[in-house]
Amino acid sequence: DSGVTQTPKHLITATGQRVTLRCSPRSGDLSVYWYQQSLDQGLQFLIQYYNGEERAKGNILERFSAQQFPDLHSELNLSSLELGDSALYFCASSVRGQPAGELFFGEGSRLTVL
Amino acid sequence: KNEVEQSPQNLTAQEGEFITINCSYSVGISALHWLQQHPGGGIVSLFMLSSGKKKHGRLIATINIQEKHSSLHITASHPRDSAVYICAVSFTGNQFYFGTGTSLTVIP
């Protein structure tokens, strides 16, 4: 058990819809990272937050947004969903902000868009 | 252009064999991570390196900053080591890039 909690574990929705994925980091970790893993693109870095502030941005689509709340949990919002958004979405946390420290991954949220 | 190259893509070994997985990257990095992903999908961080060598049980990770290359070694491999091993690099500014992974199967 990494100590990182992601919900929901599985989510099935339709194109055009909006979903929210939630991540609770390990106790004491200030950084939260979001990653997308799809069959054709592998793992991709989406975005990082550190203590409530956005710190780094990767290949995150404009239809996607994220935030980190004062209690340090984070949410990834995916809107106007397309079939290609079907993927595993991982959250990871670490103590440090920059450079990235050791990463602790959640079990992932599997999103299926029909 | 892929910033991170991993080899081999697939690897089958007999139980007990010594295994090496390689990772090369193209620019200067702040850290390199080796990750393990089991068939169920969960990802575990094995090592984070910025220089030198680290050892944890039967796993050894090395990095050569000048050559921009890292290796993950598994000694006395076991069927439970069967997984996908992923190399990830983080750059200044915390951009992450991932290798495509090495799928390892260890046969009893």
Kindly report the average pLDDT of chain A as a whole number: 93
Portion of chain A with pLDDT greater than 90, in percent: 81
Half-sphere exposure of A5 (CA within 13 A, CB side): 5
**Backbone CA torsion sign across B80, B81, B84, B88:** positive
List the structure tokens of B7: 């080899």
A31 confidence band (pLDDT: 50, 70, 90): very high
Asked if A48 has any chain B CB less than 8 Å from its own CB, the reply is yes
- Write out chain B's pLDDT in tens, 108 residues: 568 999 999 999 999 999 999 999 988 888 899 999 998 778 999 999 989 999 999 999 999 999 999 999 999 999 999 999 999 998 776 778 899 999 999 999
Tell me what pLDDT residue B1 has: 55
A98 confidence band (pLDDT: 50, 70, 90): low
What is the arithmetic mean of pLDDT over A57-66?
A: 94
Interface residues of B toward A, Cβ cutoff 8 Å, are 30-31, 33, 35, 41-45, 48, 50, 86, 88, 90, 92-98, 100-101
A52, A68 contact by CB (below 8 A): yes
A41 confidence band (pLDDT: 50, 70, 90): confident
Per the CB < 8 Å rule, is B42 touching A107?
yes
**Other C-beta atoms lying within 10 Å of the C-beta of residue A5:** 15
Q: Decide if pLDDT at A9 tops 80.
A: yes
Three-state DSSP state, A51: coil
Please give the residue of chain B at the shortest CA–CA distance from A47.
Answer: B95
What are the tens digits of pLDDT across the range A64-95?
A: 999 999 999 999 999 999 999 999 999 999 88
Number of inter-chain CB pairs under 8 A, A vs B:
64
List the structure tokens of A35: 């990653």
Portion of chain A with pLDDT greater than 70, in percent: 96
Main-chain phi, psi angles of B70, to 5 degrees: -135, 150
A111, A89 contact by CB (below 8 A): yes
* Distance in Å from the first CA to the final CA of chain B: 38
Main-chain phi, psi angles of A85, to 5 degrees: -80, -10
Q: How far apart are CA A26 and CA A68, in angstroms?
A: 14
